[in-house]
Amino acid sequence: MTGYTGDNPVVHVPSTAVYDGKQHDVIGIDGQAFGAGIRGVYLPSSVVLINNSAFYHCTDLQFLSIEGNEIILGSNVFQGGAQFYLRASDSVQSNIDADYQELTSDQVAVWFMTNGAPAGVDSCRLVISQTGSSIQVPEDFTIQGYNTVATINGEPIPENYVLSTDVIVDLAYTIQKFTVSFVCDGETVWSGELDYGATITAPAENPTKEQTAQYPYTFTGWNGFDEGMTVTQDVTFEAQFLEELRQ
């Protein structure tokens, strides 16, 4: 494998690849095959060689899984990188010159991948969990004003799901919508759905109230409405009128 040009931060290297119409085993990883932005890499047992500087300056690398039991490592394979979790045989670990933390046999990698999330939410988060435990979405991934749907391979996660192997959890975010209404004497002047956080704008034309022989009515505003306020829930604003006795 000479390099990775995709945009997925978690890469599962295949054991075979088609080249010139023929299928070949993937046996090696070339120099600087991976770069910035890569969070996790899974190498199949077919890979027996990791060349010089294959993970050079992979400062975002958090996890590496090496399936094979015997592998030849070049020089400076992980130069300039950060500490990462490693799953590999003892024989492979003994040859790796890098700052890593070994995963135990009862630990699994849970990847949370977000889609449509608001600014400030990680697009990819690694959580190391115990086998037999349930999936726990990080608390800071629950965002006020957004609905979140968690799936694995496009399917909802069963309530009784327990972790037995590494898994990618896709989190799809959709902004919540709320109904905003402006009402005058029981009649709707304007009503519509707005996104959470959207600025509420009052109707351009002020409502009127039919005068009586005794009282004229002057519109004074919408009860509870302030200029610049934003949507946080369903809300109804009632028209307010000043009632003045005729002279």
Closest CA to 71 of 38, 44, 99: 44
Q: What is the structure's pLDDT at 70?
A: 87
Beta bridge partners of 32: none
- Provide the whole-model pTM: 0.85
Q: What is the structure's pLDDT at 245?
A: 75
Token pair 């600014």: residue: 119
16 near 47, Cβ under 8 Å? no
Token duo for residue 100: 């890593």
- Please give the average pLDDT of every successive group of 10 residues along the chain, which has 247 residues: 90 91 91 92 95 92 94 90 93 90 96 94 96 94 95 94 96 97 96 97 93 85 96 97 79
